[in-house]
A and B are shown apart, each in its own frame.
Chain A
């Protein structure tokens, strides 16, 4: 077991985004601060409470989830797609690392970035607007699982894509609509029955709802259901990545 090789690949993935922190870490933090300013101190007083919470407090767990999703996805999709384009992935594939180690290391890169963004967002929320944090350990686990899901989806997207346009297509036409319709800015209890049911078919809703439960102590659906969906998605997405790497999809001729 080449554990040092595995650690080196994780370090490479971390180093890749850490040295560009102004592009990778700062923007989502600034975005969250702007949301807090706009909905907390400016418009917030004009919007009624949602599920018993001030509007800004209600949306903050969703905003943290959104930051985790976009950053975990961006990290792996960019890193692997670039590596495919400049063929540096061939050097990694020719190294004494197993498919499991390579996939896990790439996912870990996205997870580290997602967890950093997620927890900075949550900590800002805790201190800026006194957002409650009811279930700390569950919050840790959910942040981790959301990061794993979207790091894995980033890998799948990077393998499937043949151009940057494909990567953007996945982001713009699938991820963004699902995120915005996933209950980040509203409770699905507020929706008409038909759209309520449609929202329940949106997997991102369960990610947002589970993190909201872990922080605010209140979710739109049972925590068991949302947690099961999150854990199931993480296993499925990672499993698909591993399977694609093992069969050398678009990597090995």
Chain B
């Protein structure tokens, strides 16, 4: 039993999804389309609605209104078909205490309708991939936090899902393993797996995701390619230090430059292009030598702070389920 994709359908299609927890509005009308094969990031402060949205996709939360379709299958009317396409690694550990790692993984493949033979082979593959082979006979609660997180990802991958949802996959994983995980996820994505990622590591989203959505107070407040968002919201700057004075005559037709006796500085989008133009003209002045160049680029983190009003690592504790 595999994932049946309805042709010409997006991997995920969310329309006007609203969810209230008594008086708290967790999702205030989310609209989102994620294309097949995309690597998509969901960013937002704690309590913004990311986990509620993800749990709505896998059927752990029932929105009061709106619709969610996974490869064309409505999660409310055809939940089994929809979930068949999804592999889900949650934010918090939810592993059965009774079974060891190997059995946990084998059962997971079985739940998705795979044979025992496939389950055994795939479990071995995942244990090796996530460096858990030595702990294969241990129960999950004897693993370190990072190992538990790797187990959750391995379990999500047991069914070779078409849509992989990772809620904070790197939390607790050390830097070297994080890099390995990134490479593995890139490979999966290259092979056609659509990946949705929520993360507190903005650099992770910037490095991996083709598009990101920033969620705050249950709404998507901005969405786009990381580079495009940085260009849209961040002011980049350059300051070029010079040895010896330079005449302003050289920089005619380049508006907005601040020219001092020993330096030239500029601000604005596409700073790389401006820097190149300045340097070209400096070098045309034969006796001119450059002392140093300081370029300040924008970042997705800066975009996040501008849009949400708070840095991602200093956000308030969880206030909603």
For B, the interface residue count at a CB cutoff of 8 angstroms equals 36
Q: Which of A4, A83, A88, A248 touches B110 (beta carbons < 8 Å)?
A: A4
Q: How many A-B residue pairs have CB under 8 A?
A: 92
Is B128 positioned at the interface, with any CB of A under 8 Å from its CB?
A: no
Docked complex Cα distance between A87 and B108 (Å)? 15
Q: Which of B60, B81, B108 touches A253 (beta carbons < 8 Å)?
A: B60
- Which residues of the other chain, A, contact B97 by a CB distance below 8 angstroms? 82, 86, 88
Given contact pairs A9-B111, A91-B95, A97 touches B80 in the complex (Cβ within 8 A): yes
Of B52, B86, B113, B115, the most chain A CB neighbours within 10 A belong to B113
In the complex, which residues 1-29 of chain A have their Cβ closer than 8 Å to any Cβ of chain B? 2-5, 7-9, 11-12, 15-16, 19
- Which residues of the other chain, A, contact B59 by a CB distance below 8 angstroms? 93-94, 252
Which residue from chain B places its CB closest to the CB of A8 in the assembled complex? B110
Docked complex Cα distance between A189 and B83 (Å)? 56
Given contact pairs A9-B111, A248-B62, A253-B21, A94 touches B86 in the complex (Cβ within 8 A): yes
Docked complex Cα distance between A95 and B94 (Å)? 13
Q: Which of B62, B83, B110, B112 touches A252 (beta carbons < 8 Å)?
A: B62
Determine if B60 and A93 form an interchain contact, defined as CB atoms under 8 angstroms apart: yes
Given contact pairs A88-B95, A96-B113, A252-B62, A8 touches B107 in the complex (Cβ within 8 A): yes
- Which residues of the other chain, A, contact B92 by a CB distance below 8 angstroms? 87
- Which residues of the other chain, B, contact A86 by a CB distance below 8 angstroms? 94-97
Is A49 positioned at the interface, with any CB of B under 8 Å from its CB?
A: no
Determine if B111 and A92 form an interchain contact, defined as CB atoms under 8 angstroms apart: yes
Determine if B96 and A4 form an interchain contact, defined as CB atoms under 8 angstroms apart: no
Looking at the assembled complex, report how far the CB atom of B250 sits from the nearest CB atom of chain A, in whole angstroms: 64
Docked complex Cα distance between A14 and B274 (Å)? 70
Which residue from chain A places its CB closest to the CB of B320 in the assembled complex? A253
Determine if B81 and A87 form an interchain contact, defined as CB atoms under 8 angstroms apart: no
Docked complex Cα distance between A91 and B165 (Å)? 13
Docked complex Cα distance between A226 and B202 (Å)? 66
- Which residues of the other chain, A, contact B62 by a CB distance below 8 angstroms? 248, 252-253
- Which residues of the other chain, B, contact A161 by a CB distance below 8 angstroms? none
Q: Which of B58, B99, B103, B112 touches A5 (beta carbons < 8 Å)?
A: B112
- Which residues of the other chain, B, contact A4 by a CB distance below 8 angstroms? 1, 110, 113-115
Looking at the assembled complex, report how far the CB atom of B97 sits from the nearest CB atom of chain A, in whole angstroms: 5
- Which residues of the other chain, A, contact B110 by a CB distance below 8 angstroms? 4-5, 7-9, 11-12
Is A98 positioned at the interface, with any CB of B under 8 Å from its CB?
A: yes
- Which residues of the other chain, A, contact B113 by a CB distance below 8 angstroms? 2-5, 96
Q: Which of B61, B80, B321 touches A98 (beta carbons < 8 Å)?
A: B80
Looking at the assembled complex, report how far the CB atom of A247 sits from the nearest CB atom of chain B, in whole angstroms: 9
- Which residues of the other chain, A, contact B80 by a CB distance below 8 angstroms? 2, 96-98
Looking at the assembled complex, report how far the CB atom of B78 sits from the nearest CB atom of chain A, in whole angstroms: 10
Which residue from chain A places its CB closest to the CB of B3 in the assembled complex? A96
What residues make up the interface of A, taking CB atoms closer than 8 Å to B?
2-5, 7-9, 11-12, 15-16, 19, 82-83, 86-98, 248, 252-253
Name 9 extra pairs, CB < 8 A, besides A5-B1, A16-B98, A91-B95.
A2-B112, A4-B114, A12-B96, A91-B94, A94-B88, A97-B80, A252-B59, A253-B55, A253-B61
What are 27 A-to-B residue pairs whose CB atoms are below 8 Å? A2-B1, A2-B80, A4-B1, A5-B111, A8-B107, A11-B110, A12-B99, A15-B103, A82-B98, A83-B96, A86-B96, A87-B93, A88-B97, A89-B94, A91-B94, A91-B108, A94-B58, A95-B83, A95-B111, A96-B1, A96-B81, A96-B111, A96-B113, A252-B59, A253-B55, A253-B60, A253-B62
